[in-house]
Structure 1
Amino acid sequence: MIPALDIDPFCTAFFDDPYPAHAAMRDAGPVVYLPRYDIHAVARYDDVRGMLMDWGSYTSARGVGIFDFAKEKPWRLPSLLLEADPPLHDRTRKLMDKVLSPAAVRALREAFAIAADTLIDDLLARGSFDAVRDLAEAYPLTVFPDAVGMPVENRRFLLPYGNMVFNSFGPRNSFFETAVADAEPVLAWVQAQSKRDALSVTGFGAAIHAAADDGDISAAEAEVLVRSLLTAGVDTTVNGLCAAVYCLARFPAVFAQLRADPSLARLAFEEAVRLESPVQTFFRTSTRDVTIGEETIPEGSKILMFLGAANRDPRRWERADEYDITRRNAGHVGFGTGIHGCVGAVLARLEGELVLGALARKVGSIEIVGEPKRRYNNTLRGMAFLPVRMTAA
């Protein structure tokens, strides 16, 4: 029998401290039932990763949120990357992997590094600041839209847009309603930014639209893919950077390790993504009767994958709740995995490495100087406010 647990993964109390519930779900079995929402859930690493890898049995095309696109019209346009399965997904993902090729990302490195150094120098001059707005949001909102080819005006609209999209993966609760309260101007702006004439003639956006000229995608699909990139390229990076600063500030000995060896910057970012898991959950829908552990889940069931719980599963990770920047953390599911792995991960990793590298070289100490505040979202885990003080090395 599948254990039924009275857990609400979409409420303030859960968001404040999800870890006891994560442990309860992992300990209860490979799969649990959450009657509050009539959904099944998996929280162990092996089961979460297994679902992510098996798109044939666990489809994304019926929505990666709680609502089933086969049964109701989606609130927003489905993502051609995150909410599509082969063969459509193969065509769009192949294009995005070409646009975000290793060579294309390498070409950004110098400009991204200069921006990271400049930002950290400016923040050191200030001394005290909000690490959310002034660092974790400021850096991606500078370098990422430049890489896409977006104009400078109104870039901060990308933040409420992402907040809407990721909240829409959960139930229609107060977090969702608040996020979409002023949706119209934000959605109109994002839609306008996705059009060819709003973008520069260079950058990722232009490259996507050029694929429409070549017949690889339609002009309408090009606009949807640009929007998908805008979603994938900001929120995970913002919350990943914030998680890294939060970890380094709480664990001075670990920051000392990083300062002693700045080449650990990439690992330090990856470990923060594993430990804090900016993207906490995603749904899949079973395409047939499936077996998880020894339990059978019927076709058409919504199953919630707890990525954050998997990333702290002691069955997979030694000292799972510790921030260890020397850990071999390959295989964490903070960016997903399989064919639907985060398309923006390559940019997030570059940005994380360069910002933490600048911190390692320039900063002597990071201290939290006030009460941090959580940002509540049905899918994301992050901060709304993180007051810190930095001193120069």
Structure 2
Amino acid sequence: MRVVSCPSEAAAVRSPHCIHDAAAPAGMPISDLDPFAPDFLAEPHAGHAALRDLGPVVWLARYNIAAVARHAEVREVLRDWESFSSARGVGMEDLERHDRLRLPSVILETDPPLHTASRGVLAKALAPARMKLFAEEVASKADAVLDAALTRGDICGVADLAEALPLAVFPDLIGIPQQGRAKLLPHADMMFNSFGPRNALFAASLAGAAHDWVEELGKLEHLAPGSLGAEIHRIAGERGYDPAEAGKLVRALLQAGLDTTVNGLAAALLCLSDAPGQWERLRAEPDLAGAAFDEAVRLESPVQTFFRTAAREVELGGFRLEPGTKVLMFLGAANRDPRRFDDPDTYLIGRNAADHVGFGTGIHHCIGRPLAKLEAETLLRRLAVRVARIEPLGPPERRLNNTVRGLASLPLRLVPAA
């Protein structure tokens, strides 16, 4: 990566996928880095460090957007919803200016007061008291998944654990029919790819799009009685939502509530298999299962990036941004910022990392976090009790996505505890 010194040089490296005609604010460092290139997505950490070192805000000349990679500025943008709007899209495209490939999320891509109302419905449905009602079912399914994995011994940590448990839990809790569930992960992959440029990754993922199917699943008639999806409809109805609006809330949960949990669990398995000392500590203290998951989300950051749009003229990192400027937040870079975290590239399950931004922060803090943590903590706790060692059997294979950092495969050997 190089620093580009003037606007004419910046134009020379402009990406064919660039859809913005904004100019860099005076004095802002300009970089030709492409954060959506395959080599960057596969190994982003050196690029993240370079961006952090360039300054609090950097202009990405390939796309004509501002970018923040330091923890302080990422957190500032996430928390200031009045200056940095989500309603104009959490992807590269400005939903006020560009054609829409997809319907905007009624949770991720809204601002108050609409966001407050929508979030209130899902927050009540996903309240901690309700999560306790699911705990026994999640535990039973975690044991079944682990039974199958231990029978094989040599497994793929992604397919046999990280995907297996959420796919066994999440669709049943939402209450969707059995038929078609295999579409959930490919559709989520396409959705997260759509937040970046319309590059080759995005084009390849379009085959997994299932917009009409997911839209249909949100309807009450397709949801099992007593399910979480039916509960969302009930709460929404009490608050004046019509059935179509309630269905959009279910759709939002279906699109964002599975893929991120899978990648968070895969990250935890990768970290624990690569750090035998941390695995031994977890075995000795299974109550650290939740902390082990949180630290993996910090270190590997399944959601690497999100966008905001400047809703008004605003100062960020000492620079004035014009209204309509797209701002790319590097959540993964912020979570490894040495200005905030000591020894940031090391996995430490005893770390106090309460303000990492892997789940976001502010009004858009991940609404599905309680359910994700229930699934992950349950599986990791049972692994700590039932498995003596997790041994890598080969290098993991990355699954590239414009937004999400995940694994396609993770060869592991599970050695049962005596």
| Length-normalised TM-score, structure 1 | 0.98
Structure 1 SS opposite 2:308: strand
Q: CA deviation at 1:387?
A: 1.1
Match of 1:360 among 358, 368, 384: 384
Q: CA deviation at 1:182?
A: 4.6
Please name the residue that 1:370 is paired with.
394
Please name the residue that 1:256 is paired with.
280
Match of 2:50 among 14, 21, 24: 24
Please name the residue that 2:140 is paired with.
114
Instruction: Flag the 1:225–1:249 CA change in 2: closer, same or farther, 3 A.
Output: same
Structure 2 SS opposite 1:180: helix
Residues 343-358 of structure 1: pairs in structure 2 closer than 5 A? 343-358=367-382
Matched, 1:247 2:263: no
Please name the residue that 2:125 is paired with.
99
Q: 1:23 and 1:95 mapped to 2: Cα distance?
A: 39
Deviations 1:79-98 (A, max 9, x none): 11110000111111111111
Query: Amino acid of the residue matched to residue 95 of structure 1?
Result: V
Q: 2:82 and 2:328 mapped to 1: Cα distance?
A: 16
Q: CA deviation at 1:215?
A: 4.7
Match of 1:136 among 150, 154, 162: 162
Instruction: Report if the CA contact (8 A) 2:138-2:375 is conserved.
Output: yes
> Percent identity between the aligned chains?
52
Q: CA deviation at 1:73?
A: 2.9
Please name the residue that 1:386 is paired with.
410
Q: CA deviation at 1:213?
A: 3.4
Instruction: Report if the CA contact (8 A) 2:219-2:244 is conserved.
Output: no
Unaligned runs of 5+ in 2: 1-26
Matched, 1:341 2:365: yes
265-274 vs 211-220, which moves further: 211-220
Match of 1:149 among 175, 184, 202: 175
Unaligned runs of 5+ in 1: none
13-22 vs 149-158, which moves further: 149-158
Instruction: Report if the CA contact (8 A) 1:232-1:342 is conserved.
Output: no
Q: 1:133 and 1:293 mapped to 2: Cα distance?
A: 42
Residues 1-393 of structure 1: pairs in structure 2 closer than 5 A? 1-183=27-209, 186-393=210-417
Query: Amino acid of the residue matched to residue 132 of structure 1?
Result: V
Instruction: Report if the CA contact (8 A) 2:183-2:208 is conserved.
Output: no
Query: Amino acid of the residue matched to residue 32 of structure 2?
Result: D
Q: 2:192 and 2:221 mapped to 1: Cα distance?
A: 27
Deviations 1:291-340 (A, max 9, x none): 11211111110000000000000000001000000001101100101111
Query: Amino acid of the residue matched to residue 36 of structure 1?
Result: R
Structure 2 SS opposite 1:246: helix
Q: CA deviation at 1:110?
A: 1.1
Q: CA deviation at 1:154?
A: 2.4
Deviations 1:261-286 (A, max 9, x none): 11110000000000000000000000
Query: Amino acid of the residue matched to residue 229 of structure 2?
Result: G
Q: 1:240 and 1:128 mapped to 2: Cα distance?
A: 21
Query: Amino acid of the residue matched to residue 42 of structure 2?
Result: D
Q: 1:126 and 1:182 mapped to 2: Cα distance?
A: 30
Instruction: Report if the CA contact (8 A) 2:157-2:412 is conserved.
Output: yes
Q: CA deviation at 1:129?
A: 1.3
Structure 1 SS opposite 2:167: helix
Query: Amino acid of the residue matched to residue 310 of structure 2?
Result: S
| Length-normalised TM-score, structure 2 | 0.92
Instruction: Report if the CA contact (8 A) 2:186-2:208 is conserved.
Output: no
The count of corresponding residues between Structure 1 and Structure 2 is 391
Query: Amino acid of the residue matched to residue 153 of structure 2?
Result: G
Deviations 1:194-216 (A, max 9, x none): 11111101111101222343353
Structure 2 SS opposite 1:181: helix
Q: 1:207 and 1:133 mapped to 2: Cα distance?
A: 30
Query: Amino acid of the residue matched to residue 375 of structure 1?
Result: R
Structure 2 SS opposite 1:117: helix
Structure 1 SS opposite 2:104: coil
Instruction: Flag the 1:285–1:388 CA change in 2: closer, same or farther, 3 A.
Output: same
